[in-house]
Amino acid sequence: MKVLVTSRERLTLDEAWTLHLRGLMLPPDGAAPQQIRQSEAVQLFLMRAMRQQLDLQIGPEDLQVIWRICAAVGGSPLGVELAAAWVRLMPLAQIGQELTRSLDLLEDSSPVRARHHSVRAVFDQSWAQLPPREQSALARLSVFGAGWTGQDAQAVAQADRSVLARLVDHSFVEITSQGRYRLHPLMQQFAAERLHTQPELEEDTTALRRATMLEFVAAAGQALRLYEAEGTWVERVFQEFESIRRSLSEWLRRGEVDAAATCLNTLRPFWMRGLALPEIRHWYGLVLSRQHPSSPALHTDTLLLAGEADMYLGHLDSAITLMTASLASARTAGRPVPLTYLLIGQAAWRRGDLTLARHHYTQAHQTFVELANWPGVAASLNNLALLLKESGDLKGAKTALEDALEAKRRSGGDEDTVLINLGTVLRDLGYHGAARERLVQGLHGVMQRGYRQFIPEALSELGRLALAAGHPVLAVRLLSAATALGRELTVVRPAHEQAESDRAAQQSEALLGQDAFADAWQAGQELPLEDIVQQLRDWSDVPLPNAGTSQSG
């Protein structure tokens, strides 16, 4: 005899073979409307919703809302059905809003089976079977965002491996493919409600989570500054980002500005890669709207790094204002400020004020040399080279970049952005083969290290090189891919660099004709980054003759 048993709890039978059932398939991030409509969870929602309202009209914007509703219930078939039943009484957007506030929406007002007439009823029955220690652990685990490690569970919720194993066996906790633990979105709400009934326990648990997040951010920032397993640490920050977000919100609500500012500043090696930058700048705005951090040094650094975030987002006037305030504060305290000089110079250069940029770059370079700070020396030489390039002194720019590359290698730092800039100078000098080698090497480096904000620049410069070398179709695809990725990252390129890319696109269109250009541009918009890299790999096998050395100014 073979028996098929469904249960929220693992059967303790040697003969039992266990298959974990997950929620229905959800659309991937960035899915097109047709992909959303065809996903399992959305299909079920539409089927049940049209039972309630046969003439229901669903547009592309409605599909986005339905996607969020299905994600809020984690693809749970019961949750999807109960949410869809409300279309007869409220708009889709309101259903989504109500789901974020309470599980009470997920209830059938005319139940046939009492145990399954609501999500809460299902969870209540399972909760009642847990012993007090596991109930407490489950409630405390709700303070995490998108998941946690076993070490975090022990530190914050006093949940050791045996407790976690029992919660997994009772279908309260899930294990991800990365070996992390998480709660289903609906279970997260249920457990958080249970914790909220015990204010002292909730306060103690959230305090432990905030302390754990500060320790994690410090470890991540240190590793990224030292270039240690960068891809792994960037991924870990993304995994913990919801818990970091919750901690920031709590610190600000409690008036603990120092902790919030320290967290944001320590995360600089993460967000300066262009990752989550708009949200980070939002948090900086909230921090700066409160009272100043108690430490003048912390306030100075916060002003500077908020200005740097503004710079990457293209808010150049605000960036220079914040950085100048940071500079004044640092000078009052008698602190060395080479990084401040460097960043003000970068913002001025992006704004087109080359005189101000040169002044601050020079001061930064002199101070870095005095401090024997070789990464800083390399960064200042790299930026001074861009000024030489702007003025037409390509040979001088090439020499400065080669010196910057040597300083980078001396310090053990990343060489990728210097390689990209050196590639552009070599291209303008006519050394197409050498330029391609440097640009591709730099692109691979920024991809591997997670510096996504520099990928559009590398793709764009490679596109201009492809055009100069007589490959206009590849040029258009690269320029288009750079535009699409830049839009996705919300990182704003300097105006003069964007203008050069636009001119290259116009020249390509003149060579190819309107129809062929449009086809190549569309292909670049749709190509995954991995496919673009493969095309560059194929192109690298094609010899590129030098075009002859251009004259430097």
Three-state SS string over 298-367 comes to HHHHHHHHHHHHHHHCCCHHHHHHHHHHHHHHHHHHCCCCHHHHHHHHHHHHHHCCHHHHHHHHHHHHHH
Contact 284, 320 (CB under 8 A): no
pLDDT value at residue 116: 53
At 186 the pLDDT is: 86
Q: Report pLDDT for 553.
A: 34
Distance CA 236, CA 224 (A): 11
Helix (H) or strand (E) holding 190: helix 185-196
pTM of the model: 0.82
Residue 80 · residue 70 · CB < 8 Å: yes
pLDDT for res 551:
41
- The whole-number pLDDT of residue 547 equals 66
Mean per-residue pLDDT, 41-48: 93
Task: Tell me the C-alpha to C-alpha distance, in Å, between residue 346 and each of 49, 401, 439.
Answer: 54, 16, 21
Burial call 81-104: b when 16+ CB within 10 Å, e when fewer: bbbbbbbeeeebeebbbbbeeebe
**Band of residue 550 on the pLDDT scale cut at 50, 70, 90:** very low
Q: Which two tokens stand for residue 68?
A: 């969020």
Place of tokens 């002199």: 366
> How much is the pLDDT for 548?
55
CA distances, 90 to each of 58, 70, 134, 206, 395 (Å): 14, 16, 37, 35, 67
Please tell me the predicted confidence (pLDDT) of residue 552.
37
pLDDT band at 314 (very low <50, low <70, confident <90, very high): very high
pLDDT digits (tens, 9 = 90+) for 325-372: 999 999 988 888 899 999 999 999 999 999 999 999 999 999 999 999
The tokens 């559009």 sit on which residue?
Answer: 456
What is the C-alpha separation between 70 and 270, in angstroms, rounded?
Answer: 30
Q: How would DSSP label each residue in 482-520?
A: HHHHHHHHTPPPPHHHHHHHHHHHHHHHHHH-HHHHHHH
**% residues pLDDT > 70 (the chain):** 97
Asked if 73 and 106 touch (Cβ cutoff 8 Å), the reply is yes
Tell me what percent of the residues of the chain surpass a pLDDT of 90.
63
In the prediction, which pLDDT does 334 show?
86
Look at 234 and 13; give whichever has higher pLDDT.
Answer: 234
- Average pLDDT value for residue range 445-463: 91
First-to-final CA distance of the chain: 88
